[in-house]
Amino acid sequence: MPELAEKYVGKVKLIYIDPPFNTAQTFASYEDNLEHSVWLTMMRDRLLHMKKLLSSGGSIWVHLDYAENHKMRVSLDEVFGGENFVAEIVWQKADSGRNDATYFSTDQDVLLVYRKSALFELNRLPRPDAMNSRFANPDHDPRGPWAMADPCAPDAPNNQPMVYAIQHPMTGELMYPAQSSCWRLAPSVMFEEMSKWARYELRDTGDRVKRAEVSGVPVEAAHDMVPAIMLAEPLDSAREHSRAVLEPGLPLLELVFPRGGLGRIMRKSRIPSRGMVPRTLWPNSDVSHSRGAKKELVNLFPGVTAFATPKPERLLQRVLLISTGAGDLVLDAFAGSETTAAVAQKMGRRWVTCELVEDTFERFTKARLAKVVNDADPGGVTRTKGERIAAEDVELPEGVSPEDAAKFTSVLNKLIADEPEAKKDPRVKALKAAAKTTRTKEVMNWRGGGGFHVAHLSPACFDYDPALDRVVSTPEATGQVLIESVAANLGFPLLHPDDDYIFEGRRGNTLLKVIEGVTTVELVDDLVKELAPGETLVLAATSVLDGVREYLRKVRKGSRVVAVPDDVFGYQKETAL
């Protein structure tokens, strides 16, 4: 409808669709066994409409399994352009294998992500507390917690000025970046930071062969002269300066030498302020799985047979976190159990959703959203469970997560359960203390509120009759229902009777008149008299006498007659071009 088009066209930030997968399975809520070409045609036609709805910075996420994934990607390339492909995300939907599989047990679905244009920007994900727990501040650095990190970066062949030797201030050895890597920091910054350990100078050491080896390029391709950062004082003197830097109580410098100053150069890495770049592999430990989604529905609707393939709220939460902000508009054109709108409501997004199956709408879609609004949905993303993190003053070894530490403690307790002496052993106590973890507090994200409006489709005025191979009118095609359907299909916003009691719609300087019956030359004359200078007429009638089309074009240039229903859809295609 044009009235709705004005409200939503070009304004939707995210479209998430979870269409029937066309897997030859028959779901209670979907006709999911369509022939491939029919399914793809059905989806392409809808994609073309959805593209118009997206804002210039919007994106569409299409949830699929293996059956149509490769074909759908070709269709998405056609509609949105291959240059607007963003990612193919793999969601680990299974939490266990299936021994009844013919060949392989399928673990994943995919989400194909396309942007409307280059104006699309994604959001980074919040960093979990567990990820930040590896950062500590043992030296009371005023800049805050840090962790040791590699001082090297990849792509040495294209960054040869960043490949050079640095002389160790304690051992005197020449340090180079790792193979095929370069130093991460600019040479001027590296020189400035190294000069805080001892006195340094830039010096040509004639190491072109070594630099070529590190860079992975032929010697003749290595840069001629890249100065090394070398000590400008005797090694003994440099050691004294370095030991002073390592005095207890002083913050360590940005370039760190572990093992009491004897280790290889490292750098301090701070907690990133911009969050995490999303990855394309989404394990169910992060976003739940199909079994978890079914449990969410069972908890909402006890005793009701759930959908075969519902999606968990945490999965949709991640989609919305990456692609939308507060107040943005989200569309789901295949509502089903309506996870998308439920999560959007809880996250403060605006949403529109569509469901054609009346039973599904009443039992699941509307009922679920009512529970969300009325604070009767305690599951899903309503609350966030506390994260497991290292206990205060505990620094877990690199590569050991808080979950690993908790499992270790659990296993250790089981092993010594019947060993009273082992429980008292100082070494066991020390291990437990070193692996001690705790949980952060649970966070309540949603307490109900807001609301929604339900809009019902008008009865269908037109249908396709395969026996006649043409579009025909239905018994409902009468009165105001017919007027509204014709106006919508021809792209005319309706006029209120208070504004115009003769015509039904207006688009610019063109007026619409719908006649349920026969249109005549006399009727054309009466209508044309009501037109202002410069206005044209589209006259839609269920019966058109010979000569009326030509007569209207003659008496009012630019006007035309549309026979209902034969000409309606042909006219629609013409006006869309």
> Residue 354: inside a domain, yes or no?
yes
Query: Looking at residue 130, what is its pLDDT?
Result: 74
Could you tell me if 101 and 62 lie in one domain? yes
Query: Looking at residue 172, what is its pLDDT?
Result: 96
Could you tell me if 353 and 431 lie in one domain? no
Query: Looking at residue 26, what is its pLDDT?
Result: 37
> Residue 349: inside a domain, yes or no?
yes
Query: Looking at residue 274, what is its pLDDT?
Result: 86
Could you tell me if 488 and 554 lie in one domain? yes
Q: Under a CB-based contact definition with an 8 Å cutoff, are residues 222 and 208 in contact? A: yes
DSSP at 364:
I
Could you tell me if 563 and 544 lie in one domain? yes
* Integer Cα distance of 198 and 232 in angstroms: 8
CB-count exposure of residue 410 (10 Å: 0-12, 13-18, 19+): exposed
Residues 6+ apart with CB under 8 A from 210: 165, 176
> Residue 13: inside a domain, yes or no?
yes
Residue 141, Cβ neighbours under 10 Å: how many? 17
- 3-class state of residue 403 by DSSP: helix
* Integer Cα distance of 164 and 490 in angstroms: 70
Could you tell me if 248 and 140 lie in one domain? yes
Last residue of a domain, one of 237, 270, 303: 270
> Residue 142: inside a domain, yes or no?
yes
Residue among 32, 37, 88 nearest 62 (CA): 88
Long-range CB pairs of 232-235, under 8 A, 24+ apart, other chains included: 232/199, 232/200, 232/201, 233/198, 233/199, 235/172
- 69, 407, 426, 474 from 413: Cα distances, Å: 47, 10, 14, 74
Could you tell me if 219 and 296 lie in one domain? no
Could you tell me if 361 and 260 lie in one domain? no
Could you tell me if 150 and 266 lie in one domain? yes
* Integer Cα distance of 564 and 209 in angstroms: 83
> Residue 48: inside a domain, yes or no?
yes
* Integer Cα distance of 186 and 419 in angstroms: 57
Residue 465 bridge partners (DSSP)? 470
Count structural domains, the chain.
Answer: 4
Amino acid of residue 74: V
Give first-to-last CA distance, the chain, whole Å: 18
> Which residues, given as ranges, of the chain have pLDDT below 50?
24-28, 571-574, 576-577
> Residue 453: inside a domain, yes or no?
no
Residue among 156, 226, 238, 160 nearest 196 (CA): 238
We report the CATH number of the domain holding residue 35 as 3.40.50.150
Q: Under a CB-based contact definition with an 8 Å cutoff, are residues 135 and 146 in contact? A: yes
Residues 341-385 have pLDDT tens digits of: 999 999 999 999 998 888 889 989 999 999 999 999 999 999 988
CB-count exposure of residue 464 (10 Å: 0-12, 13-18, 19+): exposed
Last residue of a domain, one of 222, 250, 270: 270
What radius of gyration, in Å, describes the C-alpha atoms of the chain?
34
> In degrees to the nearest 10, what's the CA dihedral of 103, 23, 339, 75?
110
Could you tell me if 181 and 90 lie in one domain? no
- 11, 182, 482 from 495: Cα distances, Å: 24, 69, 15
Query: Looking at residue 25, what is its pLDDT?
Result: 45
* Integer Cα distance of 463 and 103 in angstroms: 43
- 183, 485, 500, 502, 558 from 505: Cα distances, Å: 68, 12, 9, 10, 17
> Residue 35: inside a domain, yes or no?
yes
Tally of CA atoms within 13 A in the half-sphere of 84 that contains its CB = 22
Could you tell me if 44 and 83 lie in one domain? yes
- 3-class state of residue 217 by DSSP: coil
Long-range CB pairs of 463-471, under 8 A, 24+ apart, other chains included: 470/566, 471/565, 471/566, 471/568, 471/569
Query: Looking at residue 27, what is its pLDDT?
Result: 43
> Residue 200: inside a domain, yes or no?
yes
Could you tell me if 395 and 351 lie in one domain? no
Tokens of 188: 């001027």
- 16, 27, 322, 354, 381 from 276: Cα distances, Å: 22, 37, 10, 33, 20
* Integer Cα distance of 556 and 534 in angstroms: 9
Could you tell me if 163 and 87 lie in one domain? no
* Integer Cα distance of 335 and 355 in angstroms: 5
Last residue of a domain, one of 360, 383, 406: 383
Q: Domain limits at 89?
A: 7-122+278-383
